[in-house]
Structure 1
Amino acid sequence: MKLPKTAHTALPWRIHEITRDFTVEDVWSFRTPGAGPDDFPAMLAAMRAGGALAKQPPLSRALFAVRWKLGALLGWDDPAEGVGTRVGSLRDRLPADIRDAPRGPDNANMPLKAVYELHTEATRELANKTVHTVMHLGWARGANGDHELRMAVLVKPNGWFGRLYMAAIAPFRYLVVYPALTRKWEAAWRDRSLR
């Protein structure tokens, strides 16, 4: 479910310390019935076990395939445009007390790379010719009293082209990508004990 940006900005996440120059683009919540305050690691494990892009619905996979083809054709995803080249990694901004925290595993099939993983939040980043983007996953008490997964997408567009790109992909995010993620991640929570 889409949430107001304040559902992310009002909570005391550590991500705020290192993303002051980013804009909160989207905030979504994912239902995790029966979840308690210590279940964030279990949710992350369920999501990882639930699969990568290859296990997404066909329409989502098709959209990502088109995006990666366009990126290759137009040079959007050239390594020179990525984290550590065009932009520094957010890991370079981490406060000393979380600098040595585990990052979480990286996967060659996942373009977002781990920055840090704590008991109630995890952060991944990606940069290309269009944007430097951050996916923040946090664990927060939901309206029904259970804890829930929250995802915030923060962006720093690369000039006018990045802003145009974000506007162009907005309908696809809202109509296809986020609803598919919602179904997938909520199912991962429900099915976690079956794996």
Structure 2
Amino acid sequence: MKLPPTAHTSRPWRIHELTQDFEVEDVWALPTPGGPDDFGRLVDQFADAGFPAGAPLVVRVLWETRMTLGRVFGWDGESTGIGSRVPTLRDRLPADLRDAPIGPEVGELPFVPLYRIGDEWAAETANSTCHAVLHLSWVPDQDGYRGQLAVLVKPNGRLGAAYMSAIKPFRYLFVYPALLRMLGRGWQESGPQIAAP
């Protein structure tokens, strides 16, 4: 379920310390009900979800189209990424987060992990269109706990702003629904959900 930006901004996440110059692009409640200690399971499952390879055909086609356009227009070259066009957010980490575990790599997605703590995990990516952060968190709700996904972006000028506007309908119609279904299915298959007392 899509959530308002305040579902992310109103919580005291550590990611706020790193992303004051980023915009909250999307926030989603994940279909991953569980107990207070299930966040690690969510992070590991997200990293191993097999997205986009395991997604429906339309998502795989959209993904491959985007990768092809990136190659043709040079959006994803080495000079456009983390450490080249933009410095890594790891440079902004306070000492305690710098010493925290980084967390798993993200399968096929081009994100580099930043940190992992008890109820947060963050990763970043960059290309010539934007610098983006993927933020997973574990939040209490009426039935116990659940995962939450936020995407934060810093568009790169007019190209980045136009790109983010152009892909928004595809994200909402195809990409996010497929990702949420895959996460929900994987969550149900990976073990019992433990409701909080």
Please classify the TM superposition score into its range, dividing by the shorter chain length: over 0.9
Kept in 1, the 8 Å contact 2:114–2:123? The answer is: yes
User: Which residue in 1 is equivalent to 2:22?
Assistant: 22
**1:51 to partner: Cα distance:** 2.2
1:107 to partner: Cα distance = 5.0
Query: Aligned to 2:191, what secondary structure does the other structure show?
Result: helix
Counterpart Cα distance in 1 of 2:55 and 2:135: 20
- Aligned to 1:11, the other structure's residue is in SS state coil
Which secondary structure does the structure 2 equivalent of 1:54 belong to?
Answer: coil
Poorly superposed stretches of 4+, deviation over 3 Å: none
Number of equivalenced pairs: 192
5 Å-filtered alignment, 1:82-121, equals 82-107=81-106, 109-121=108-120
Q: Residues 48, 18 of structure 1: CA spacing in aligned structure 2 closer, same or farther, 3 A cutoff? A: closer
Q: Superposed, which structure 2 residues align to 1:42-57 within 5 Å?
A: 42-57=41-56
Partner of 1:73: 72
Letter in structure 2 aligned against 1:124: A
**Segment of structure 1 superposing worse, 170-179 or 102-111:** 102-111
Q: Tell me by how many angstroms 1:53 deviates.
A: 2.1
Aligned pair in 2 of structure 1 residues 138, 182: CA closer, same or farther (>3 Å)? same
- Verify the 8 A CA contact 1:47 1:189 in the aligned structure 2: no
Report the residue type matching 1:78 in the other structure.
G
Equivalent residue in structure 2 for 1:187, among 185, 190, 195: 185
Q: How does 1:154-169 map to 2 (within 5 A)?
A: 154-169=152-167
- 2:139 paired residue number: 140
What is the TM-score with the length of structure 1 in the denominator? Answer: 0.94
Q: How far is 1:187 from its partner? A: 1.1
Alignment partner, residue 7 of structure 2: 7
Instruction: Please give the per-residue CA displacement for 1:8-29, whole angstroms capped at 9, x wherever unaligned.
Output: 0000100000000000011001
Offset from partner CA, 1:36-67 (integer Å, 9 cap, x none) = 11110012223334323211121111111000
CA–CA distance in 1 between the matches of 2:65 and 2:143? 40
Deviation at 1:136, TM superposition (A): 0.4
Aligned partner of 2:189: which letter? D
Per-residue CA deviations over 1:84-115 (Å, capped at 9, x if unaligned) read 01000111100111101111122563211111
**SS at structure 2 position matched to 1:53:** coil
Matches of 1:50 and 1:157, distance apart in 2: 27
2:124 equivalent in structure 1? 125
Give the letter aligned to residue 117 of structure 2. L
In 2, are the aligned partners of 1:123 and 1:136 still within 8 Å (CA)? yes
SS at match of 2:3: coil
Structure 1 CA distance for aligned equivalents of residues 118 and 148 of structure 2: 14
Query: What is the percentage of aligned positions where both structures have the same residue?
Result: 49
1:171 aligned onto 2:169: yes
State the partner residue of 1:64: 63
TM-score, length of structure 2 as denominator length: 0.93
